Amino acid sequence: MQEIEAQQKLKPFLDSNPKSGVKKLTLSGEDVLAVVNPWGDPALIISLEDDDDAIIPALNSLVFPERLSAIFHVGSKQLEVLWTAFALSQNNSQVFGRSFEFYYNNKTYNCGFRKASDELLTISGAMKPIGASENGYRNTLSFINYRMSLELDEELDKRFGTPSCFYIDGIDYSEDTIVEFLNCLNFYMSYYDALTPRVIIHPPQLPKALSEVGIRYRYDKFPALISARPLDPELLQFWGATDNAEPARKFLYAYRIIEHSAFFFVESAPKIAVRKALMMPHALDDISGTADRVLAAVRSSTINEYQRFESVMAKAVDPQILWKFIEVNVEMFSKTETFDGGFEIGALIAGTQSKDDFMNNGVRNICNSARKIRNALAHGREDKNATVILPTRSNYEKLRPWSNLIVRAAGEIILYEHA
């Protein structure tokens, strides 16, 4: 079958999965016709070389949700979340066969753990990993190996059991709506069973923007020598969590780094008074008096929580470092942005010509905008008039430059903590 013919036969699939395509690839020296980027994921392909009569109808009936390790059956409106083809553990064997009704937004959905569909097993026989994966190959490997075992062995490998998936019946397909639904469903399933398998929700696959590539290096190149010192392990946990998080959680993790440091920030005068009290030659001889003097010095601090946040940012973060990032994202930062959920953030700068003003006031303006974004992400709708940032793909795109900007500031804060 030729590439053009395959594209014609797979038109329903390609229309429903616009990030996928059909291409000729060379694998291990052989040309292979395959569906590339299922789930919009370059780590997997689906070969079209064998049993096309089964694979093509199966693919044409499916949507591959980009943020899930799942397939959506268009005709039955059934979401099938990939679980495992391996033999189940004792804990998971209690889950297989479980079914329940989930009443959500005035509609009842039938949910349950049961045997994998014929469509999934068909495409698993043609699926191949071809590159590094950041999401465990969408949970497909056990199904791929199961199909290989069926074809190679007369007796099924004892590693395998009944290929099993989690189903949600009768759900309308919309990525953002399904993700919101699954977050809620995950809570209730884990609330009633602490060991239940959860539906994994992957971060949206946002391609690297040219602006991000252009500012890869903090100081133009990677240093040949790094003179390191121990860093706060709690802050490093948050820093590590920013790596694979979607933009909303990345922003909140980075904000938490700055917030943690700000909590312990004391302005110069009280800090000097504390140091003086502790350095008095008789400090240990008069513990009670020393404690009173330290407490009095700390209480003399007149700045509130937000002022501490702003002060630690001003002391730790060089605005020139932030400007380098803002300058290559000038279009995003020089306009007012309205998010799904009603939240609106004003322009941070007036354009590249506003560099001098940013050097003087930019860090303060970032603090003000960051606090508003953080509240819109974390506080939700405490009252009916509140505006929020909903977890939609559109919002992630709009939030991405802000998240990366706050991560840059957080990196400076971590180093400042131990300077």
65: left (phi over 0), alpha (psi -120 to 50) or beta: beta
Q: Which residues pair with 31 in a beta bridge?
A: 26
Residue 39 neighbours by CB distance under 10 Å? 25
Position 123 confidence tier, pLDDT thresholds 50, 70, 90 = very high
Q: Report angle CA 311, 315, 319 to the nearest 5 degrees.
A: 105
The two tokens of residue 15 are 């229309």
Is the CB of residue 344 less than 8 Å from the CB of residue 368?
A: no
DSSP symbol at 171? P
Return the minimum-mean-pLDDT range out of 212-221, 228-237, 321-330, 403-412. 212-221
Cβ atoms 96, 112 nearer than 8 A:
no
* Mean pLDDT of the 139-166 span: 87
pLDDT at 266 over 70: no
Whole-angstrom distance, CA of residue 411 vs CA of residue 400: 17
**3-state secondary structure (DSSP) of residue 338:** strand
257: Cβ contacts below 8 Å, ≥ 6 apart: 235, 238, 239, 410, 413, 414
Q: Is the pLDDT of residue 15 over 70?
A: yes
Q: What is the pLDDT of residue 278?
A: 74
Residues 353-388 have pLDDT tens digits of 888 889 988 999 999 999 999 999 986 555 555 789
Structure tokens at 212: 């991000």
The residue-averaged pLDDT of 161-189 equals: 93
pLDDT attached to residue 169: 97
Cα–Cα distance for residue pair 255/374, rounded to 1 Å? 8
Q: Which residues of 336-349 are buried (b: 16+ CB within 10 A; e: fewer)?
A: ebebebebebeebb
Q: Judge whether 300 and 392 are in contact, CB under 8 Å.
A: no
pLDDT at 212 over 60: no
What is the bridge-based pairing of β-strands 107-115 and 99-104? antiparallel
Position 3 scores a pLDDT of 85
- 387, 300 Cβ separation under 8 angstroms: no
Q: How confident is the model at residue 208 (pLDDT cuts 50, 70, 90)?
A: low
23 φ/ψ angles, rounded to the nearest 5 degrees: -145, 155
Q: pTM for the whole thing? A: 0.72
Q: Is the pLDDT of residue 182 over 60?
A: yes
Read off the pLDDT of each residue in 78-98 and give the average, rounded to a whole number: 94
Instruction: Lowest mean pLDDT of 10-19, 79-88, 139-148, 201-210, name the range.
Output: 201-210
Strands 30-36 and 44-47: antiparallel
Rounded CA separation 274/278 (Å): 6
The pLDDT assigned to 301 comes to 58
What is the pLDDT confidence band of residue 114, given thresholds at 50, 70 and 90?
Answer: very high
Residue 396 CA to residue 393 CA, distance in Å, equals 5
Is the Cβ–Cβ distance between 111 and 99 less than 8 Å? yes
Q: What is the structure's pLDDT at 28?
A: 81
168 pLDDT higher than 90: yes
Q: Residue 276 forms beta bridges with which residues?
A: none
Residue 153 has pLDDT above 90, yes or no: no
Q: If you write DSSP's letter for every residue of 70-95 in order, what string do you get?
A: EEEETTTTEEEEEEEEEPPPHHHHTT
d(CA 18, CA 40): 8
* Residue with tokens 């840059």, as numbered in its chain: 408
Is a pLDDT exceeding 90 seen at residue 36? yes
Q: Is the model's pLDDT at 210 over the cut of 60?
A: no
Q: 266 or 122, which is more confident? A: 122
CA 376 to chain centre: 18
Q: Tell me if 356 sits within 8 A of 329, measured CB to CB.
A: no
10 Å CB burial of residue 366 (0-12, 13-18, 19+) is buried
- Pair of tokens at residue 100: 């329940």
3-class secondary structure, 344: strand
Work out the pLDDT band at 267, boundaries 50, 70, 90: low
DSSP letter at 68 equals B
- Nearest-angstrom CA–CA distance, 48 and 126: 7
User: Per-residue pLDDT for 164 more than 90?
Assistant: yes
In this predicted structure, the answer to whether residue 163 has a pLDDT above a threshold of 60 is yes
Confidence of residue 352 (pLDDT cuts 50, 70, 90): confident
Query: Exposure pattern of 109-146 as b/e (b: 16+ CB <10 Å)?
Result: bebbbbebbebbbbbbbbbbeeeeeebebbbbbbbbbb
Cα separation of 408 and 257, whole Å?
11
Question: From CA 146, how far away is CA 125, in angstroms rounded?
Answer: 8
Contact 118, 57 (CB under 8 A): no
